[in-house]
Structure formats: structure tokens, C-alpha cells
Structure 1
Amino acid sequence: VAARGFFSNLLFENEMRDQVMQRHGIAERDIVGLLAHLGADCPGAISCVPEGAPPGKRPGRLDIDYEMLDGAPVVPEAAPATGLDIVPLPVEGTLARLMASLRDHRRLPAGIDVPSPLAGVQGKVALAVLPNGRLGLPKPGSGAPTTHILKVPRESAMSSVVREHLATRLMARVQRHPVAQTRVMGEGSLQGLLITRFDRNVAEGKVHRLHQEDLCQALGLGHTLKYERRGVEGRAFNASAICEILRSTRVPALARQAFFEITLTNMVLGNSDNHAKNHALLYAAARPDLAPAYDIGPVLLDAGVTHEMSFRIGKARMADDVDRDDLSAFMTALGARGFSKAQENRVIGIAQALVQATEDLPRLAGKGLCDAVRQQARHLSENLELGLDIPEFDAVPVNRPERM
């Protein structure tokens, strides 16, 4: 069962998978059959290929293994600490056509050959930033890795690009643990979020993969069990399971504290979608580290989804219900000695820093994200009796499971 869960998470649900199923008559549950055709370039640094076949992956040389995309803008090396600094997108060219197809059809346009299995998954495509700062693709058959992921939402959800970018930047502002780096590409009705891959090492003109496993893979859970509420006793993404994962890391105490702080920050940012596939282990040595925080979207602003947390904190299923007893139970389940004074001080520091940062949010992303952060911080302050000074805000509706 655990092996099935691990290998099923190596398959993306995209057009490439559907085509293989139809062309070769392979059932959706035939994981081995699908990997025989799609396993050469699975997530992480592994390949699943038929016996005797050559490996599907190798390090990439930026000078010979990639082709630049027509109409790709120059991506600056470092994002600014303040403001959006949007990377402009030419209205014509392959990149604009690719992004428009992801936005409108959730697939790549005809005639663009992208070897990565990520192509088209939830409006995503894997790319590489070349030495001249422009975006490119690995040459077909090269086995070379990409360096970035570009996410393009539907036009109706285009505001999510800036919101996720700002939420990610806020996470980085208050975390001691690494956080994914993001840039906004394009403006208006065609925008994308460009994310630097943390499972890559780029040095001296070469790109090497670092193996990573999301927590569904690490726990042997199928992707349908990424939320605790979908699990069963003994097979669920809950605090006890997370504890076992954190114990396997190089420095379990640091990983546990980082996971706690990321969880609390997600609560204040309104991100209840921090499920098992939005956390990962990164293997840069024999034992893994907790990967940088990523996929930090303030889903509280999405009225069409439940806002129930991905895993319970103590007995609480909703972020606005979490109290001191819940945090103590959560930390105990993670392997700590309850909710300490030092951890309370970190909660205060995180909440205060995020609330202070909301002053610039209306100018950059409208009022919604500002209201969400202040509302979540007030709930936390009141439930834990922290006495934080929270500025006024307009209430953001919360979708509870019983109301959906």
C-alpha cells in the first residue's frame, strides 16, 4: 500500500497522461503501465524506466541543453524587498502564447514541445532561466532539468498571482526557515507566478537535480489523502504522521519548530490549503531536510472552497477556533513538550510582523489580503489572550464545512 502511494504520486494528472492512457489502452489505476511511458522524468531526482532502458535524467548544461523561448523577457536575478517589480511580458511570442493557452485551456498550445511531465498540470509549465536571464526549455531528449515553474491561473482568478506572491513574501519576512522565491510575470488579464525551484542546484553553468518528496510520497499516501479529513485511522495526514516525518530529518528539533512556525504563519495569511503535497522533504544529504515553504495562497479570499484546515491543530478544524489547548496538543503530537513560552513569543512576533506589513497591501493587491491577515491575527490574539493591537478591517466570510 505504501509503495502504491509513493509511486502514484510520481504521476501528474495532465493531458500527457490522458494521451498515454488512450493511445496504449492503459487503465488509470495501472501505475506501473503509466510509469513505463511517463516515468523517465518524474518528480524528484529519480526515473522509472523499463529494464535496460537508459536513465531519463542527467544534469543540464545551460550553454547547450536549452532553447530560448521567443518573446521571453529578461528575468532579473534578485527580486526587490518591497513593491511588486513586475516582469513585463511581450504581447507576442511563444511565451505569451504558451501562457494564454494555460490560462484559457489549461494545456500547452499546439506545436510547443515541453518534455517536462509538469506541463499543463493546473496551469503550470516547467522552464529554465538561461545565463542571459531569458526563459527557455530543455531540448527534447536532453534529459536536462528545469530551474523554474510558471503558474498561470484562469482569467477569473488572475488576482491570485499577486496575492500568492505577496503572501509568499510575507512568509519569508517572518520565517527563519527558507521560503520559495517568486516573481510576477505580466500584467492585466495575462499574468503568471514564476517560482524558483528549490530542488535544483545551479552552479558553474550546470543544473543538477536534488531529490525531493512531498509528504504524501514520504508517508506512502495516495494523492487523494492529502487532507486529514480524507484519511482513515492509521493512514492520514495528521500531526502524528507529520511527527514521524520530522523525526526522519537531519535535525528533527529544527524541522519541528520550522513546521510549527510555517503552520502558524499560514493560519494568519489565510492559507488553509497547506496539505501534504504542499510540504516536502529535500534530500541534499543522506537524511532529508524540511523543504522551503511553498504554495502559499490566501485561499480565505476564495469564496468557492472550504476554509477547513488541511490538518487539525489539536481539536480545531478551523483556524479561527485554534486556542492555547489546541496548540499545546498539536505541539505534543509533533513530539515537543507542549506549547512553550518561547513558542508563544514567536507567535506574537509573527502575528505582529504580519499585521504591520498589511499597511502596504491595499496599494499592491487591493484590500482583501489586508483584511484577511488582520482578521486571522485578531482571532489568534483573542483565542490565545495575547492582547495584540489589530487595526480595523472589513470581515472576510469564512466557509465552514457545514455551510458548503
Structure 2
Amino acid sequence: MKTLGLLHVVIGNRQVGTLNRSGRTLSLTYSADARNDTDAVPLSTRFPLSVRRHKGTDLENWLRCILPERPELLAAWRRRLGLTDLSLFTLLTHVGEEVAGAAQFVRPDRLDEVLSHPGGLTNVDSDQIADLLRQAQLDIPSYDEQARLGHFSLAGMQPKIALQRRDEQWWLPAGREPSTHILKALSESVPDSDVVEALTTRIAGRLGLPTARVTLGQFGSQRATVVERFDRRWNADHRHWVRIHQEDMCQALGLAHKYQSEGGPAPHEVADLLRRVSAEPETDVRAFARLLIFNTLTLGTDAHARNYSLLLSPSGVRLAPAYDLNSLLAVLAAPRPEIQLSMSVGRRYHAAAITQRDWEDCATYLGIPAQWILTERDRQRDLLVTAFERSMEDQDLRSINSPAFDRMRAGLNRAS
């Protein structure tokens, strides 16, 4: 069958293989050099370097996860770029150079520049960033096709942009230069969404949970959630940012759906995966269990499998820090018993109905001692209010007057 397209797959500034389209079939083929290189990183734990060629539904599901979920944005890309289709391959041809993790999907005519050119940075000021955020809210593609600036694909539903932070300034990156921060525009569906995410993340951090660094940003008239990417690392010797590869749990498990009740991963499947691939499996399983407890106590109803990730590096695979943490307690004026979680505890999705027996069953499914999970649940519950009050002392949170704070305080008092 005639090959209709090819994209080079670059990870860590090395070409590890190709993504090929033949008819309607996509395939990933690793190069011989990558397969024999002990420092090479695979595209996914599901697609090991020991197997030269991968194809099928798992690959398509994996690629779909690095593209936005917003139909409006995908339609806008189609209009802006004059695309005749919205296939995975076609979209990656245009936006595949800056996605989650370290993978870059590069057109043949761009490969030499991506591998050998240092890349480019264009300085943007506060008002320009505000314009980019407004464009994101309106689903207007905000990159320059000729200069390939701001050429990114950010997964998820919330409008967002990607920038690099360097020398106390903001920059639009291109080519080899990666973004270092994700800036999320305010959500229309969640009032003060930036406050809710920053506050929830701070509380988790003060409970000892590894989290991404989240701050509040003001750019002209636009507020935004500013998330420091945990899949980037500063190389002090060469003074440049390095991409670290990652994949979410849906990608690693080869599943298309992110919510457990709709066929997405269950907690025990995540735990089983961590025991298979993690360099420190028991540490990571317990870290995942801590996050599951936290999201249950704080009504983190959007803590689905795509909001848990793996970091892949030559030294091994580890559970990534927590990100996209949000609490419905900061949104609800009063408790609602019908609210469901994204992942079950035992067999229950309704947080209000979860009993000690459900937590014991959860421990059994995760393969950890029941007493450990009960002790950790009690520890977090006892410290929630204190963690909240300490977080409220942070300058960026104190500078905003939001009803979300009072709702969160009341909700945490009920939870504890």
C-alpha cells in the first residue's frame, strides 16, 4: 500500500523513529540506532524499543491524547490552516513540534532545523500575553505558520497557551526551544478557576504530596493559571531547557476513555501499571494512593486517568507530580450527595457514601495494607484545614478576593 505521509519522531533531540501513514493506518517504526541506544526513550511504555514497529488502536489512542479535546478549537485549526480533514496525522503535521512531554513530530523538511538549529524565542509582554489568552478563549489559533512560533498542541478542554520563562521574561518558543509554562485562561464553567486550581494544589503540597508549581498570573486585563511544566528541566551547564518525556495513564494503558465509569482506567489498573513499569513501584503506588485519598476528601471530581502521568527518562519511569488539581468544595455552596468521583474508592463513586470498608477494599485492589491507607486518610483529613489556612497566607492568593475561599474553608471543615 502506498505511503501517504511520514513524520519523524524526535525525543530528547534525537530522532528515534518515524510515524507513518499508509491508507488509514498509522504505524510507529523505531530506528536501529534508537533500539540499540541504552539512553533512548520510547514514545510510550506501551511501545517498547525492543519491538521495532507498533500500530493499531493503541497507537491512535496515544496520539489522540496529545491533541486538544475542544471540538471548537479543532474546527478553528481546520479553518485557519485550510485543512481538508482533522485526522491525527494531519493535525500533528502542523502542531506536533510542541506537545506534552519530550516527543516532537517533525515534517521531513523541518528535521534538520529541529535537530541542528538552536530554535527561536520571541519576547512577549503582558499585553501580548493577554491577547494570546483572549484568542485561546475564542478558539483562535495564535501561532505564526511561517515562523512556527507558539506552535503547540496542549491536551485537555480548558483554553491555554504555552510560553517559555527565561531571565524574568516571557517568550514564545519555536523549534528546539521548549515551552516551560502553561498559562490557562479563566474557565467559563468554573468561577475563579485559577484561584481554585492554585489553592487546591497548594493544599496538596502542604500535605506532602508532590505537585506541579501553580501560581496566579495577571497579564493586562487577563488573569490566568500559570503552571510550571514538570516535564522540563534546566541544563545549567549549557543554559537551555530540556524536554522530559511523559505520558498519561490512558496512553500508558492504551485506553481511549478517561473516566472509569465510561471505560477508563480504574485505580487498580494504574497500580498494576506502576508495579510493571516504575523504577520504584511501591513508592509510586503509595504516592498514587495518597493522591486518590486527597482527591476524594477534596471532591476532586475531575481527577481522571489523564490527570495522572508517568515521566520517562533513561534512568527509568516514575509517577509524575500531581497536576490539574481542582476541588469542587470551592465551587459548591452546600454538599450534594449525588456528586460522583472520576475514580472509585472500592466500588463506590459517590464520595458522600464511602465507608471505611470501601477504603479497605480500595487498599486490597491497590495491593497495599489497609491500615496504611486508613492512617493516610486520617492524616490528610486532620491536616486539611491547617493546610488551607497556611496556603491562604501566600501573597498571590491573598491579593484576590474570591468567594471560592469561604466555600473551600467550609467544605474542608465538613470533610475533616
CA spacing shift, 1:123–1:356, aligned 2, 3 Å: same
What residue is the counterpart of 2:10 in the other structure? none
Cα drift, residue 151 of structure 1:
0.7
Amino acid at match of 1:369: M
- 5+ residue gaps, structure 2: 1-56
Cα drift, residue 94 of structure 1:
0.9
RMSD over aligned Cα, in angstroms?
3.2
1:125 aligns with 2:161: yes
CA distance in 1 between partners of 2:350 and 2:305 (Å): 17
Residues 206, 387 of structure 2: 8 Å contact kept: no
CA spacing shift, 1:39–1:114, aligned 2, 3 Å: closer
Cα drift, residue 35 of structure 1:
3.0
Residues 329, 407 of structure 2: 8 Å contact kept: no
Aligned pairs for 1:336-351 (under 5 A) are 336-337=368-369, 339-340=370-371, 342-351=372-381
Amino acid at match of 2:172: L
Cα drift, residue 155 of structure 1:
6.0
Aligned pairs for 1:71-150 (under 5 A) are 71=126, 93-103=127-137, 105-107=138-140, 113-118=149-154, 122-131=158-167, 133-139=168-174, 142-150=175-183
1:323 aligns with 2:355: yes
Amino acid at match of 2:266: N
| Selected match of 2:322 from 283, 289, 293 | 293
What residue is the counterpart of 2:83 in the other structure? 24
Structure number with higher strand proportion: 2
| 3-state SS in 1 of match to 2:104 | coil
Residues 216, 226 of structure 1: 8 Å contact kept: yes
- TM-score w.r.t. the length of structure 2 is 0.72
CA spacing shift, 1:65–1:322, aligned 2, 3 Å: same
CA distance in 1 between partners of 2:58 and 2:241 (Å): 31
| Selected match of 1:169 from 199, 202, 205 | 202
CA distance in 2 between partners of 1:179 and 1:170 (Å): 10
What residue is the counterpart of 2:230 in the other structure? 198
1:240 aligns with 2:279: no
CA distance in 1 between partners of 2:347 and 2:156 (Å): 38
CA distance in 2 between partners of 1:291 and 1:58 (Å): 27
CA distance in 1 between partners of 2:408 and 2:325 (Å): 13
Offset from partner CA, 1:275-323 (integer Å, 9 cap, x none): 0111100113353100001111113444699831111110211122222
Residues 196, 330 of structure 2: 8 Å contact kept: no
Residue-pair matches, total: 339
What residue is the counterpart of 1:220 in the other structure? 254
CA distance in 2 between partners of 1:108 and 1:190 (Å): 18
Residues 130, 221 of structure 2: 8 Å contact kept: no
CA distance in 2 between partners of 1:160 and 1:330 (Å): 30
Residues 227, 310 of structure 1: 8 Å contact kept: yes
Cα drift, residue 327 of structure 1:
1.3
Cα drift, residue 31 of structure 1:
2.6
Residues 106, 121 of structure 1: 8 Å contact kept: no
1:367 aligns with 2:402: no
Amino acid at match of 2:376: R
CA distance in 2 between partners of 1:49 and 1:361 (Å): 42
CA distance in 2 between partners of 1:172 and 1:152 (Å): 23
What residue is the counterpart of 2:216 in the other structure? 184
Residues 158, 190 of structure 1: 8 Å contact kept: no
Identity %: 26
Amino acid at match of 2:154: L
Cα drift, residue 125 of structure 1:
0.5
Residues 106, 122 of structure 1: 8 Å contact kept: no
What residue is the counterpart of 1:274 in the other structure? 303
- TM-score w.r.t. the length of structure 1 is 0.74
CA spacing shift, 1:24–1:185, aligned 2, 3 Å: closer
- 5+ residue gaps, structure 1: 72-92, 378-404
| 3-state SS in 1 of match to 2:96 | helix
What residue is the counterpart of 2:14 in the other structure? none
| 3-state SS in 1 of match to 2:346 | coil
CA distance in 1 between partners of 2:108 and 2:220 (Å): 49
CA distance in 2 between partners of 1:58 and 1:347 (Å): 48
Offset from partner CA, 1:173-232 (integer Å, 9 cap, x none): 012x4211011112997311111100001122211100000111111112xx1001111x
Amino acid at match of 1:328: E
Amino acid at match of 1:12: P
